[in-house]
Structure 1
Amino acid sequence: MSQFSHINQSGEANMVDVSVKAETAREARAEAYVDMSAQTLQLILSGSHHKGDVFATARIAGIQAAKKTWDLIPLCHPLLLSKVEVHIEAIESESCVRIESVCKLSGKTGVEMEALTAASVAALTIYDMCKAVQKDMVIRTTRLLEKSGGKSGHFKVQE
């Protein structure tokens, strides 16, 4: 079994030293879902939501969140992201919204947390913008889908 990388020999939390690691191209994809009523989803899709374009706002929030991950997650390194994408799609048959984020860089540490943060904050933004019309929405299944680069290599979730 692997050891936790953020715990030192004394059992204390610490930031991992990446100074000796090689720079490699790194990429991560993550997703999150927001379950809501069909009426709330139609309000978003019709463009008649009183707060404006919910998906555009959530997309921008997700991108901004990826760039600020190091400020939110205590032991994350500040990274020079070269790309952040947030894709949002309505799944009308399931009355939900699926968010997928992609983060890329060339660096010494991975971008999994940035991708997860982007998807999470985009989902939270959708909740925030729609809570006036529906408070019982559910944010679910936030997870890493795929990552590449670095010493641990490629990971892809098994569907």
Structure 2
Amino acid sequence: MLTHLNTKGEAHIVDIGDKAVTRRRAVAQARIIAKAETVAAIIGGSLKKGDALAVARIAGIMAAKKTSDLIPLCHTIALSKVSVDIEQEGVTALVIRAAAETIGQTGVEMEALVAASTAALTLYDMAKALDREMVVTDIRLVQKSGGKSGDFVRA
């Protein structure tokens, strides 16, 4: 049964009032595939728009905090921690990994996914003048812990 549908099949926000308060953590990632020169410019900090890595990290953190404003049926939750890490993968890719944490009644998977995807889109925006063929791809949940459904780790 889909939890965001009521007995009539209508969309609604899930009642989390009876759920246990637990420590919850989620990690999501996204990947950008780009020209080698573009990846080098991002990593080297030589873009005309400035330090793309710093801007993307801040954008991801800000986006995690705004998830319930973007995804209609997400609860507003108090995040205890959000981190965004960006690493080069080979010469033509960047991997963005975002982690979100809370102590609460609902998970932070969406916050981590929104952080990773927003950071990736920010990198695209910062470097699009160099490479309009960049691809944002592989946005996915990597792991989560806490809550009734327990732990998940992508194989």
**TM-score, normalising length: structure 2:** 0.98
Q: Flag structure 2 segments of 5+ consecutive residues without an equivalent.
A: none
Residue identity opposite 2:65 in structure 1: K
- Name the residue aligned to 1:102: 99
1:42 Cα deviation from its structure 2 partner: 1.4
Aligned residues between the structures: 155
- Name the residue aligned to 1:132: 129
3-state SS in 1 of match to 2:121: helix
Q: Does 1:17 align with 2:35?
A: no
- Name the residue aligned to 2:115: 118
Q: Distance in 2 between matches of 1:149 and 1:10?
A: 30
**TM-score, normalising length: structure 1:** 0.95
* Sequence identity percentage: 53
Residue identity opposite 2:119 in structure 1: A
- Name the residue aligned to 1:48: 46
Q: Distance in 2 between matches of 1:131 and 1:15?
A: 37
Cα shift readout 1:69-111 (whole Å, capped 9, x = no counterpart): 00000000000000000000112x2411100011011000000
Q: Distance in 2 between matches of 1:24 and 1:77?
A: 16
1:43 Cα deviation from its structure 2 partner: 1.4
- Name the residue aligned to 1:72: 70
Q: Distance in 2 between matches of 1:139 and 1:26?
A: 27
Q: Distance in 2 between matches of 1:47 and 1:126?
A: 12
Two-structure CA RMSD over aligned residues (Å): 0.8
Q: Distance in 1 between matches of 2:46 and 2:146?
A: 42
User: Could you list the runs of 4 or more consecutive aligned residues of structure 1 that deviate by over 6 angstroms after TM superposition?
Assistant: none
Cα shift readout 1:3-24 (whole Å, capped 9, x = no counterpart): 1110111111110000111100
Q: Distance in 1 between matches of 2:139 and 2:40?
A: 23
Cα shift readout 1:112-145 (whole Å, capped 9, x = no counterpart): 0000000000000001111111111000100000
